[in-house]
Structure 1
Amino acid sequence: QALLLVVALAGLGLGLSLIFIAVYLIRFCCCRPPEPPGAKSPPPGGGCVTWNCIAALLVGCAGIGVGFYGNSETSDGVSQLSSALLHANHTLTAIDHLVLEMVERLDEAVRTELTTLEGCGPRGGGGGAPAGGARRQAETGGVPLSPLQVAENVSFVEEYRWLAYVLLLLLELLVCLFTLLGLARQSKWLVIVMTVMSLLVLVLSWGSMGLEAATAVGLSDFCSSPDSYILNLTQEETGLGSDILNYYFLCNQAVSNPFQQGRGAGRGAWPGVVGGARRVPGITTPFPPQKPVLSLEETLNVTEGSFHQLVALLHCRGLHKDYGSALRGLCEDTLEGLLFLLLFSLLSAGALATVLCSLPRAWALFPPSDDYEDTDDDDPFNPQESKRFVQWQSSI
């Protein structure tokens, strides 16, 4: 409701601006004193009106520069957010890959090597249970969270937002430049076209102002306390426990590692598996098969290395660093860019409103020969040149 109120205030500002411009132009057209017949000098204050319009256009050009800077800052902040999300997704994907690889490797060891070796002697059954326990402990290491979709959605929206603002800035820049050209050349048709375009850009500026203000208010409210909001949203979307989320989002000594128990149980299962493998020569026949023994030892060595790598990836430092980078990009660069874009919209709306009030008065000061100002004096199709040619022929 608060965001809708901000957007409604921008709409109210647009309505008041249009009403003020309409009242001003009606008063200018209907209440203007009649000019005395034969008067050729411009009315007093005409130069002041033109310079006011030029000053407003220069302010609009300065606002365009502010808008380009704000658009760049916003894009940088969103890019930092997307990069942090992609890096976090890479870490989580590596965790899932390691867990799946360990589970498959241990499951293969339980189904083939240990089963073969236990069937070779009368006292089988020493290694399968510990290996199965290690496999079950490895299955609990996955983290069901994927920021990839969030990063793709953010990048998609940002691409079109950036392009829309660039087009808006270029449109206003062209309007300002062509309006200055029309005032310099005293071209009535160009001034009329730019008046219509200024009205269009004024509406777009107020609309962008409403969106920027609503986004800035919502983002500043989020950045005042982001942890609780993200914790609740992530828990709702993924179903993860609060202990896991607090561990990764806070990452301090006050929060214990939720995987500590599972990691300890997994480490405790390794001695049983290794001990069972070492007892293989004693529990099998006098000629134990060497290939299953070597394969089992290789599986244990590779799995132990993967387990230590998984423990390092499950530590909160990496993901918490990505979380902090995402917050800095969103709450520093993006918010700063939105504030500069809001300043651009304010300057643009004020400058264009002034221009719309000044252009009709400046247009009224143009000389009546404006229709022929673009023609060349040596052009034979020039009406004045044709008149002089007829007079010259009659004199002959």
Structure 2
Amino acid sequence: MDTYKDIWYVKLLHEFPHLNFSFKETNSTFEPENKSYQESLILWAAAPVAFILVILFLASCCLCIQCVKKKPQKPPRTTCIRIVVAIFIIFSIGAIAVGFFGNEQVSKGATEFYDALKDTNQTLGDISVTVETIADVVERINGPAGVQALKELVSKSGSAANQTLGVILIQIEELANKTKTDIDSVKSDLPGLLLLKFSKEAVDVEFIRWIVTIVLMCFSLFILLTTSLGCYKKSRCLLMTSVVLGFFGLLLVWTGSGAYLGISVGASDLCYDPDTFVESLGENKAEKDVIREYAKCQVNKGIPSIFQQDIKNAFSEVSRANTTLDKFINESLKFFPVANITRPVLFMRQQLDYAFGNVTSLGELLDCRTLHGDYTKAVEGVCQTALVGVALLLLMLPFAGICMIVVQCVLPRIWYLTGKRRGYRPVDDSDPFCHRPPPYNGYGTMEADRDRGGARGSCTLEYYRDLRRSADELDAEERVPMNDSPPPAYHPGRFPQRYDIE
């Protein structure tokens, strides 16, 4: 028979140290109900969360430093920094894409496990129905239409018939009861609770895990896309939004990494020795022995030894009951006509044949190769298909988390260097066409402030007189004396003619 063989990373994760909350080493055997074992898995799950909390604290300090830092006068280039951020964003998106594949692999493995579980439960259900059917057949054989009807007929035929045929009917009744006892023994030893613990709640837990992982990765993609847009547009608002959302995203990503780390360690402990855990599901020694028989079914082995004798006895007893019924028919010819016993004998013959067929079917259902195949499929679904997906998530989520940490550390710097800076631009004070008024001192008077330099000092009354003097040199025919009036408007090519008002 095909048997499960563990893979290398199962051994690697199984060898991780298992420590309880007191940091004392515990057994690495998969025992989900053991408190110390639960604590060891919780510690592994909490390690990535503690790591990201420290990183987020340091990133918050860096962000505060960037906020209070003095802005540079000359805007520096941010192209190189934004290219670095783009590279890490691409790495993060690639890791999340692989994470989507890993999530589907986990779901696929869970589906294989539940399909095998469904087949096993179907087989166990068929066994239970067959056992109950045989018990009903035995009751019908011994009921008023079978043995009881023949007893009444024999009792009316005299004491001689009663002594001869009554003993034969008692033998048939005892053989039928022994068959029922053997079948009840099979039912009592059958591990009915073998897989009932993995019921609909486990299916619901897997669906919740799948949904939460999808939402987590989609939220991380949204953060990365927001960051990309903010860096492309150099938008301080989008960059700050990315920083704030990135804090939550990092916390969620590393929390998910911790959860999958704990799941990986626990699943590896299970897959390292699944037979021992499955055997522990039996409630008594007989059930545990049966589970061991099915978990370690050999190539040419059929019915497990614990059931083999009961099934063999049931076959023998049904056959002997048929032979005894033939003997009863032959002996009854001495006491009454065959027509008197035809109906009850035919009914008993049908029921005995029906019982023989059900015993044969029960033996086929109890064949270890059927249930062992379902068991192997279930273990492979968990320990190969699903665990591969968990391993991918365990690798890709931390990798994406590290890339996002780098992005979160660089974003405050980009935010610091990005955006418009308001201030005065240097102007040419000698430009005669700059739009600025002359200085006013007081109300209604214009007085030159010769001591002021720069843009205001150039727009004085004397400046306008010099300007007018230059215009007079260009056009000697037009000489307009200057007064304290505002400067004339300029037309392209020349100043318009002005007239003094006497």
TM bucket, shorter chain: 0.7 to 0.9
2:108 maps to a residue whose letter is D
Tell me by how many angstroms 1:96 deviates: 0.3
2:79 pairs with 1:47: yes
Instruction: Tell me if structure 2 keeps the 8 A contact 1:115–1:128.
Output: no
Instruction: Using the TM superposition, give the Cα deviation of residue 274 of structure 1 relative to its aligned residue in structure 2, in angstroms.
Output: 0.7
CA distance in 1, matches of 2:222, 2:43: 32
Write the mapping of 1:175-186 to structure 2, written as runs, cut at 5 A.
175-186=223-234
The CA RMSD over aligned residues, in Å, is: 2.2
**What is the aligned partner in structure 1 of residue 127 from structure 2?**
95
Residue 119 of structure 1: SS of its match in structure 2? Answer: helix
1:340-379 alignment, distance < 5 Å: 340-368=392-420
Deviation at 1:24, TM superposition (A): 2.6
Q: For 2:291, which of 245, 248, 254 is the aligned residue?
A: 245
Distance change >3 Å, CA 369–CA 33, structure 1 → 2: closer
2:61 aligned residue = 23
1:215 aligns with 2:248: no
The corresponding residue for 2:325 is 277
Q: Deviations over 1:79-121 (max 9, x none)?
A: 1111111100000000000000110111111122012113322
1:391 equivalent in structure 2: none
Identity of aligned residues (%): 25
Give the stretch that moved more between structures: 147-156 or 210-219. Answer: 147-156
Q: Which residue of 1 aligns with 2:336?
A: 286
Deviations 1:146-182 (A, max 9, x none): 4255142221111111011111111111111122112
- Name the structure 2 match of 1:117: 150
Shifted more, 181-190 versus 20-29: the winner is 20-29
Question: Is the 2:275–2:292 contact (alpha carbons within 8 Å) kept by the matching residues of 1?
Answer: no
Matched residue, 2:31: none
Contact 1:131 1:273 in 2 (8 A): yes
- Structure 1: how far apart are the matches of 2:71 and 2:203? 60
Decide whether the 8 Å contact of 1:85 with 1:148 is kept in 2: no
Using the TM superposition, give the Cα deviation of residue 320 of structure 1 relative to its aligned residue in structure 2, in angstroms.
0.5
Deviations along 1:187-226, one digit per CA (max 9) or x if unpaired, are: 2222222221111110001111111001101111111111
Identify the residue that residue 90 of structure 2 maps to in structure 1: 58
Residue 328 of structure 1 corresponds to: 380
Offset, 1:333: 1.3
Secondary structure of 2:282's aligned partner = helix
More helix by share: 1
Query: Which amino acid letter does the alignment assign opposite residue 48 of structure 1?
Result: C
For residue 141 of structure 1, what is the amino acid of its counterpart? V
Which of 59, 80, 102 is equivalent to 1:70?
102
Question: 2:220 matched to 1:172?
Answer: yes
Question: What is the one-letter code of the residue matched to 2:142?
Answer: V
Determine which structure has greater relative contact order: mean sequence separation of CA pairs < 8 Å that are 6+ residues apart, divided by chain length: 1
Structure 1 position 138 matched with structure 2 position 183: yes
Determine the C-alpha separation between the residues in 2 that align with 1:168 and 1:11.
Answer: 15
Inter-partner Cα distance in structure 2 for 1:26 and 1:352? 19
Q: Write out per-residue CA displacement over residues 206-265 of structure 1, whole angstroms, 9 at most, x where no aligned residue.
A: 111111001101111111111112212x223x6643331221111127985211111121
Normalization by structure 1: what TM-score? 0.86
1:224 to 230, 255, 272: 272
Report which stretch shifted further, 137-146 or 195-204: 137-146
Match of 1:258 among 306, 325, 336: 306
SS at 2:215 equivalent: helix
Q: Is the 8 A contact 2:49 2:251 kept in 1?
A: no
CA spacing shift, 1:313–1:295, aligned 2, 3 Å: same
> Matched residues in 2 for 1:27 and 1:360: separation?
9
Q: Aligned pairs, how many?
A: 363
Alpha-carbon distance between aligned partners in 1 of 2:207 and 2:408, rounded to the nearest angstrom: 32
> What does the per-residue CA deviation read over 1:283-337, in whole Å, with 9 as the maximum and x for residues that have no partner?
4441233211111111111111111111010010011011111110111111111
SS of residue paired to 2:143 = helix
Q: Report the counterpart of residue 41 of structure 2 in structure 1.
A: 3
Which of 1 and 2 has greater Rg?
Answer: 2
Which residues in structure 2 correspond to 1:147-162 (within 5 Å)?
147-162=195-210
Q: In the alignment, what sits opposite 1:235?
A: 282
So what's the TM-score if we normalise by structure 2? 0.68
Q: CA deviation at 1:279?
A: 2.5
Match of 2:305, SS? coil
Select which of 79, 92, 99 maps to 2:111: 79
Q: CA deviation at 1:19?
A: 2.5
Distance 1:53 1:265, change over 3 A: same
Is the partner of 1:150 in helix, strand or coil? Answer: coil
Which secondary structure state, in structure 2, belongs to the residue aligned with residue 279 of structure 1?
helix
Could you tell me whether the CA contact under 8 Å between 1:179 and 1:191 is conserved in 2?
yes
Q: Deviations over 1:342-367 (max 9, x none)?
A: 12221221122112111121122323
Residue 392 of structure 1 aligns with which residue?
none
CA drift at 1:369: 7.6
CA change 1:191–1:27 in 2 (3 A) is closer
Equivalent pair of 2:89/2:403 in contact (CA under 8 Å): yes
1:374 alignment partner in structure 2: none
The 1-side partners of 2:299 and 2:287 are apart by: 18
Task: Please say if residues 71 and 416 of structure 2, whose CA atoms lie closer than 8 Å, have aligned partners that are also in contact.
Answer: no
Deviates more, 1:49-58 or 1:67-76: 49-58
SS at 2:336's partner residue? coil
